[in-house]
Structure 1
Amino acid sequence: MVSSPFILQMLTLLMVVVTAHSEKRAAILARRMVNLQSSLHFNSLRSDDIPISMAEYYVASDTCSDVEGLSNNGDPILLLSKMSTSYKNWHNNGTISVTIEKPKMGHFDGIMGKPRGIFFGKLRELHLSHENAKRLAGHFLIRHPDARHWLPDDHESHVHDTRWFEFEVQSVYFVGGFGDRSFIGNISGNVYHQDLRDDESYPCHEVNLQDALPKEVEGGSRSLSQQSSFDGFFQLIKTLIMNY
Structure 2
Amino acid sequence: MRPFIVSSLITLATCTTLQPAQEIFSNPPHDDGFRIPTPYESTVMARRILRLESIGTISTIFPSHKSSDEPSTSENRPSDVAGSPLGLMEYFADCEPTTGNPTLLEVAIANSYKNARAGSNVTLSFRWHPPTSYYKTPPYAAHSPAALPRVALTGYLERLDKDDIEANKVADCFTKYHPEARIWLPGNDIHESHFARLVVNEIYWFGGFGDRAHIGWLNPSDWKNISESEIDEIRLPGEKETSWWGWFGRWEL
Same fold flag (TM > 0.5): yes
Residue matched to 2:60: 44
Q: Alignment partner for residue 75 of structure 1, among 90, 94, 101?
A: 101
- Label 1:239 to 1:78 Cα distance change in 2 as closer, same or farther (>3 A): farther
Residue matched to 2:190: 159
Structure with the bigger percentage of helix: 1
Q: Does structure 1 retain, via aligned residues, the 8 Å contact 2:154–2:200? A: yes
Cα deviation code 1:165-208 (max 9, x no counterpart): 11111111101111111111110211111143454xx438xxxx
Residue matched to 2:39: 23
Q: Alignment partner for residue 206 of structure 2, among 154, 157, 175?
A: 175
1:9-158 matches, within 5 Å, as: 22-47=38-63, 48-62=82-96, 72-103=98-129, 105-106=131-132, 108=136, 110-129=144-163, 132=166, 135-153=169-187, 157-158=188-189
Residue matched to 2:8: none
Q: Alignment partner for residue 240 of structure 2, among 229, 237, 240?
A: 237
Q: Letter of the 1:23 partner, please give it.
A: P
Secondary structure of 2:93 counterpart: strand
Q: Letter of the 1:75 partner, please give it.
A: N
Secondary structure of 1:87 counterpart: helix
Q: Does structure 1 retain, via aligned residues, the 8 Å contact 2:153–2:203? A: yes
Cα deviation code 1:196-236 (max 9, x no counterpart): 3454xx438xxxxxx99xxxxxxxxxxxxxxxxxxxxxxx8
Q: CA deviation at 1:142?
A: 1.1
- Label 1:191 to 1:139 Cα distance change in 2 as closer, same or farther (>3 A): same
- Label 1:78 to 1:131 Cα distance change in 2 as closer, same or farther (>3 A): closer
Q: Letter of the 2:204 partner, please give it.
A: Y
Unaligned runs of 5+ in 1: 1-14, 64-71, 205-210, 213-235
Q: Alignment partner for residue 196 of structure 1, among 216, 221, 227?
A: 227
- Label 1:87 to 1:241 Cα distance change in 2 as closer, same or farther (>3 A): same
- Separation of aligned partners in 1, 2:243 and 2:55: 20
- Label 1:148 to 1:75 Cα distance change in 2 as closer, same or farther (>3 A): same
Unaligned runs of 5+ in 2: 1-25, 30-34, 64-81, 137-142, 249-253
Q: Letter of the 1:31 partner, please give it.
A: R
Q: CA deviation at 1:129?
A: 3.5
Q: Does structure 1 retain, via aligned residues, the 8 Å contact 2:149–2:206? A: yes
RMSD after superposition = 3.2
Runs ≥4 residues deviating over 6 A: 15-19
